[in-house]
Structure 1
Amino acid sequence: MTASLLEVTDLDVIYPGGRGRKPFHALRSVSLDIRPGETVGLVGESGSGKTTLGRAVLGLAPVGGGSIRFDGRDISHLSRRERRTLAGDIQVVFQDPYSSLNPSMTIEQILAEPLTANGVEGRAARNKVKDLLDKVRLPTDAAGRLPKEFSGGQRQRIAIARALALDPRLIVADEAVSALDLSTQARVLDLFVEIQEATGVAYLFVTHDLSVVRHVSHRVAVLYRGEIVEQGDVAQVTGAPEHPYTQRLFMAAPVPDPDRQERRRAERLRMIEQQREQAEQAGAGGV
């Protein structure tokens, strides 16, 4: 079996409270791994901790326990200077394509910025920008235009191109298609898959949407209140989920048939009520 590229082991993330508030335990004993060229989907509702895990991998969240290892190296507590040395290996695509690009810079300047910071200049940088635009299926003349001249889907393609500039080995995609309409989502997800097949890059794909997970992931981890409650092969987890929370997520996913959607909604409400009753009975039994 291929050695893991990213290993998260028993990870705790604790945010300090301050002003009389208690510290917030955002993640508890979270463990997962990603192999080279693999996509692991990290799914959960808002507040589950999935974005926090992505931020911890990027060095943007405080690690209170456990470890994060990249290619065998512990990166849990790197300094800012040490973290910069990882920029070529770990990149990110954020959720909002409208705010993640500098509106005053041309696309060529946006894509050349990480190259220049790493010593690539002149003709080599221009050629790399052309190659990046080709990778994300944008015309060469896009280089001289501003972000405001592009649609949301096109801007997200530009953000993906920027993430690819330094040929990373891992990209954290944080709700990277949730701000797009469904048809644009599908095209951008296809692009992620194409790029992975061409480059071998690995993805940690953070999302609340199980349909997105099914589209791009090899394996899935489900987060609930800061803990992983289920993980495994994408077909197993999304096709026959075992944990009640994963089942509820599946029932909440929209389907095009209104009658089927209504039945799923009713089943989800029934499951929530049943689980509430079970929790109350367990609480009463412990008194």
Structure 2
Amino acid sequence: MSTTATPTPTPAPGNMLEVDGVVVEYAAKSRRGRPFRALHGVSLDIRPGETVGLVGESGSGKTTLGRAVLGLAPVAEGEIRYAGRAISRLSARERRALSAEIQVVFQDPYTSLNPAMTVGDILAEPLLVSGTSRAAAEERVSGLLDQVRLPADAAHRLPREFSGGQRQRVAIARALCRDPRLIVCDEPVSALDLSTQARVLELFVEIQERTGVAYLFITHDLSVVRCVSHRVAVMYGGRIVETGEAAAVTSGPRDPYTRRLMLAAPVPDPARQRERREQRRNLKSVGAE
């Protein structure tokens, strides 16, 4: 991918989010079946203002980890701590307060936006629910639209009137409504064409520079995490198999699975593409899986 997006300067010290030995299991589908273990003792941390890219193929467990951070997946073992507090031990009131600080941007912006509501109402809703006045909410909506580079009249239009990239900008604006400190980005550009991906990635970086928000950036594409991440964690089979600074992991990966991910990325030269395909098959045959 060709893009000018680059991660912001070195994040602040200390951890905002700590995932410590987390195991996620789902109940068996039948009475005699075994529970399905989606995560096997995963540990990860994110600092304030940092982007950690979480990369892996479909079924690797990366989305499950994002859901666990959001409290949407059952944690059987281990602990997730935010600002030093164990999320599982928070009261209902504390959890509601935490929901303002941890937000999410999903893969498909159209299905995550209410098609019957105008963009203005979509953005104002969480503000009004939290007690913000109508006038203050409308002012905030105007500022959010400007922040994600949408025209002011977008507030009066329905999601279906926008392109996929514009709808994802609306979804980003909604995540920013209550000034979160952490946003879980679950494949936020995978449904977009390459040129639109580049512009949206640039927007993520600009927002981080302006607000200091941290991202857990989930994707299957190493070229995407290279553009926006400070550090990268690679997942396979519900485990993290490699972590490190983004430049190191994406230019000289140590784990065979990470090398396979790199070789899976398409290149314009057909001969080089055939060579990469053969290298990927060789890695698989020596036990990457």
Q: Which whole-Å CA distance do the structure 2 matches of 1:81 and 1:23 have between them? A: 31
For each residue in 1:134-168, what CA deviation from the matched residue of structure 2 results, as whole angstroms up to 9, or x when unmatched? 01000001000000100000000000000000000
Q: Which whole-Å CA distance do the structure 1 matches of 2:234 and 2:180 have between them? A: 25
Secondary structure (helix, strand or coil) at the match of 1:205 reads strand
State whether residues 59 and 83 of structure 1, in contact with CA within 8 Å, keep that contact through their aligned partners in structure 2. no
Within the alignment, does 1:2 sit opposite 2:13 as a pair? Answer: yes
Match in the other structure for 1:138: 150
Match of 1:97 among 109, 113, 130: 109
Q: Which whole-Å CA distance do the structure 2 matches of 1:256 and 1:182 have between them? A: 14
Match of 1:183 among 195, 217, 230: 195
Matches within 5 A, 1:101-250: 101-250=113-262
Which deviates more from structure 2 when the two are superposed, residues 89-98 or residues 116-125? 116-125
Matching residue's letter, 2:13? T
Consecutive aligned runs of 4 or more in structure 1 exceeding 6 Å deviation: none
Match in the other structure for 2:24: 13
Q: Which whole-Å CA distance do the structure 2 matches of 1:120 and 1:262 have between them? A: 57
Q: Which whole-Å CA distance do the structure 1 matches of 2:56 and 2:231 have between them? A: 14
The structure-2 alpha-carbon separation of the partners of 1:91 and 1:205, relative to structure 1 and needing over 3 Å to count, comes to: same
For each residue in 1:165-208, what CA deviation from the matched residue of structure 2 results, as whole angstroms up to 9, or x when unmatched? 00000000001111111111111011000000000000000000
User: Which blocks of at least 5 consecutive residues in structure 2 are unaligned?
Assistant: 1-11
CA displacement at 1:215 relative to structure 2: 0.8
State whether residues 251 and 268 of structure 1, in contact with CA within 8 Å, keep that contact through their aligned partners in structure 2. yes
Match in the other structure for 1:260: 272
Matching residue's letter, 2:254? E
Matching residue's letter, 1:160? I
Q: Which whole-Å CA distance do the structure 1 matches of 2:269 and 2:148 have between them? A: 33
For each residue in 1:33-58, what CA deviation from the matched residue of structure 2 results, as whole angstroms up to 9, or x when unmatched? 00000000000111000000000000
What is the TM-score with the length of structure 2 in the denominator? 0.93
CA displacement at 1:275 relative to structure 2: 2.3
User: Which blocks of at least 5 consecutive residues in structure 1 are unaligned?
Assistant: 280-287
Matching residue's letter, 1:133? L
What is the TM-score with the length of structure 1 in the denominator? 0.94
Secondary structure (helix, strand or coil) at the match of 2:98 reads coil
CA displacement at 1:77 relative to structure 2: 5.3
Q: Which whole-Å CA distance do the structure 2 matches of 1:83 and 1:99 have between them? A: 25
